[in-house]
Amino acid sequence: MLELKFDDAQGEVSYRWKADEKAFAMPIRVGTSEKWEMITPTTEWQTMKTPLGREKFQVATELYYVGVSKSAK
């Protein structure tokens, strides 16, 4: 499960993998289908700047077998 927490006021999204394996780190495409960006989440929280809010920020789920959880900070 890819967990995403959005802070729209700061223009940031925090992300991590929720996985049983502590060293799990799999790259995944995020952003929009017109302009994907590759990130490599781990099981520790990381943060990135994004002009996209929770509604517009996408994960390329059609390319990966993953679940996505979106929430506000």
pLDDT tens-digit series, residues 14-53: 999 999 999 999 999 999 999 999 999 999 999 999 999 9
What 27-33 contacts at long range (C-beta under 8 Å, 24+ apart), as own/partner pairs, is: 28/2, 28/59, 28/60, 28/64, 28/66, 29/59, 29/60, 29/63, 30/57, 30/58, 30/59, 30/60, 31/57, 31/58, 32/56, 32/58, 33/58, 33/60
Specify the pLDDT at position 73. Answer: 81
| pLDDT class of 1 with cuts at 50, 70, 90 | very high
The CATH fold assigned to 2-72 is Immunoglobulin-like (2.60.40)
Please report, for the chain, the start and end positions of each structural domain, with discontinuous segments joined by +: 2-72
